[in-house]
């Protein structure tokens, strides 16, 4: 039930004909009260920003929203002024059907870049989905593109009685032809816009932003949260104190679960690797180093071949922009140290070969310079990734 686990929300989804396949392609979330409630968003930093992102940012300027309409099959990106009018029109259609101001609706789209939205089917379809709010499961299904499984998560906000729920569609590693990571969270905690924005920003930094498959940042990436306050819990107005941290924890748990589900659903991928960097001079340098290793095509090929070639890891650390002293670096695969003080370390090759056959692998790089730490999750580079992304048809 994910996005309706929190009290005060309704949702639904259906197939309106955006996707030629006839699969579900529009999802709607709306407050039960039809009133705008505190909301926050984190959006792509890509300057080729898609129309729905521009419209949602503008509608979130007052820190409130009453609903979100999401479509899959067409990204409404690189579509100019006409595309912005189409995104705005989608808010209008959903709002009109549900008795909400268009400016209180947010909009997300995912799919191919550079094609006009099929407005004829959207004009007909959005009112139909809005008129039949058939539940969060149908909404989560309508969000998917080439994802193989629905992605949902729920977490309690401490012992306040409130919960955070969320649904998402796959990140770049799943199907970059269809691009884009979208996630929508709801909570019935009673929090202000400023509190939600800070909690969401911090949670995204620790979760979705640590996923890396092809290092491509989509034109449409969006993560949203709406807070109904319907749980009658404590009012959370400051980004400190135990109530705030309980909310932050719940948002982080939901985002983390959704991010992990995305990695695990990577169709092309046979491996999910966690790259941990510690001992960097700063967290920022640790992050640079972890991202460099995680996004390396060479490292990803080695994972695909189940080859514990730590030399490539060391090379990526050295080229990452983070400072390293190569002769202090330790690299471990699972518990096995393969590189100590920058050179090959004696190890149980048979045990490492067994470890490399697992789907999930943890690689730890200790730079031994300071207290900076970071973690990234990546997948391997496989034939299937290429197949998925060779063409748009």
* CB nearer to a second copy: pick between 105 and 385: 385
Site string for a second copy, 364-393 (x = CB under 8 A): -----------------xxx-xx-xxxxx-
Site for a second copy, residues 9 to 48, rule: CB under 8 A: 45-48
Instruction: Please report, in angstroms and rounded to a whole number, the separation of the first and last CA atoms in the chain.
Output: 33
282 contacts a second copy (rule: CB under 8 A): no
Among 341, 348, 349, 360, binds a second copy (CB under 8 A): 341
User: Residue 51 or residue 167: which is nearer to a second copy going by CB?
Assistant: 51
Alpha-carbon span 20 to 125, nearest angstrom: 14
β-bridge mates for residue 224, sequence order = 41, 184
Q: Which is nearer to a second copy, 106 or 314 (CB)?
A: 314
Q: What does the DSSP assignment read for 233-269?
A: --EE-SS-SHHHHHHHHHHHHHHHHHHHHHHHT-TT-
304 three-state secondary structure: helix
Which part of the chain contacts a second copy (CB under 8 A), choosing from 14-22, 77-85, 204-212, 251-259? 77-85
CB 210 within 8 A of CB 275: no
Cβ pair 126, 10 in contact under 8 A? no
**Interface with a second copy by CB under 8 A: which range of 3-11, 129-137, 144-152, 307-315?**
307-315
CA 316 to chain centre: 25
State the nearest-atom distance from the C-beta of 187 to a second copy, in Å. 30
Selection from 257, 229, 256 nearest residue 243 by Cα:
229
Q: Which of 217, 270, 282, 328 binds a second copy (CB under 8 A)?
A: 217
Q: Say how many CA atoms lie within 13 Å of 105 toward its Cβ.
A: 29
Cβ proximity to a second copy: between 53 and 107 the closer is: 53
Subset of residues 170 to 189 that bind a second copy, contact rule: CB under 8 A: 172, 176-177, 179
Tell which one of 307, 335, 348, 360 touches a second copy (CB under 8 A). 307
**Residue 280 φ/ψ, nearest 5 degrees:** -75, 165
User: What is the smallest separation between the CB atom of 208 and a second copy, expressed in angstroms?
Assistant: 15
145 catalytic, yes or no?
A: no
Minimum gap (Å) between residue 139 Cβ and a second copy: 26
Cα radius of gyration rounded to whole Å, the chain: 22
Residue 74 engages a second copy in binding (rule: CB under 8 A)? no
Cα–Cα distance measured from residue 198 to residue 175, given in angstroms and rounded to the nearest whole number: 30
Position 94 contacts a second copy (CB under 8 A)? no
H/E/C letters for each residue in 142-177?
HHCCCCCCCEEEEEECCCCCCEEEEEEECCCCCCCC
Complex with a second copy: residue 7 or 84, whichever CB lies closer: 84
Helix (H, G, I), strand (E, B) or coil at 179: coil
CB 181 → a second copy: shortest distance, Å?
13
Active-site choice (180, 186, 219, 330): 180
Question: Strands (DSSP E) along 334-392, which ranges?
Answer: 336-340, 343-344, 360-366, 372-379
- Answer yes or no whether residue 208 interacts with a second copy by CB under 8 A: no
- Residues serving a catalytic function are 180
Which residues sit at the interface with a second copy, rule CB under 8 A? 45-49, 75, 77-80, 82-83, 112-115, 172, 176-177, 179, 214-219, 296-298, 301-302, 304-305, 307, 309-312, 314-319, 323-324, 326-327, 329, 339, 341-344, 381-383, 385-386, 388-392
């Amino acid at each position: 039930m994910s996005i309706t686990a929190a009290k005060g929300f309704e949702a639904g989804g259906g197939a309106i004909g955006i996707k030629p396949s006839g699969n579900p392609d529009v999802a709607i979330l709306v407050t039960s009260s039809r009133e705008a409630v505190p909301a926050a968003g984190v959006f792509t930093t890509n300057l080729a920003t898609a129309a729905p992102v521009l419209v949602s940012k503008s509608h979130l300027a007052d820190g409130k929203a009453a609903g979100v309409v999401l479509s899959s099959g067409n990204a409404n990106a690189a579509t100019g002024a006409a595309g912005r009018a189409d995104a705005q029109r989608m808010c209008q259609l959903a709002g009109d059907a549900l008795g909400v101001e268009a400016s209180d609706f947010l909009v997300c789209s995912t799919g191919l870049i550079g094609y006009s939205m099929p407005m004829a089917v959207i004009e007909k379809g959005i009112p139909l989905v809005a008129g039949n709010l058939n539940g969060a499961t149908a909404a989560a299904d309508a969000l998917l593109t080439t994802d193989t499984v629905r992605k949902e998560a729920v977490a309690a906000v401490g012992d306040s009685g409130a919960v955070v729920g969320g649904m998402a569609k796959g990140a770049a590693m799943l199907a970059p032809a269809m691009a884009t990571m979208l996630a929508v969270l709801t909570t019935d905690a009673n929090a202000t816009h400023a509190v939600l924005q800070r909690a969401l920003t911090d949670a995204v930094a620790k979760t979705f932003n640590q996923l890396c498959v092809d290092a491509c940042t989509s034109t449409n990436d969006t993560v949203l949260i709406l807070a109904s306050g319907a749980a009658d819990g404590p009012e959370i107005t400051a980004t400190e104190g135990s109530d705030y941290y309980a909310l932050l924890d719940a948002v982080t748990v939901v985002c983390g679960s959704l991010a992990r589900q995305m990695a695990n659903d990577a169709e092309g991928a046979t491996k999910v690797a966690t790259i941990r960097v510690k001992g960097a001079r700063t967290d920022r340098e640790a992050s640079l180093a972890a991202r460099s290793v995680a996004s390396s095509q060479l490292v990803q090929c080695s994972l695909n071949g189940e080859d514990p070639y730590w030399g490539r890891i060391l090379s990526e650390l050295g080229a990452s922009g983070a400072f390293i002293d190569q002769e202090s670096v330790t690299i471990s695969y699972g518990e096995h140290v393969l590189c100590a003080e920058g050179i090959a370390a004696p190890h149980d090759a048979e045990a490492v070969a067994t470890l490399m056959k697992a789907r999930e692998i943890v690689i730890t790089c200790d730079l031994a310079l300071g207290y900076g730490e970071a973690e990234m999750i990546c997948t391997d580079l496989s034939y299937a990734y290429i197949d998925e992304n060779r063409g748009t048809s």
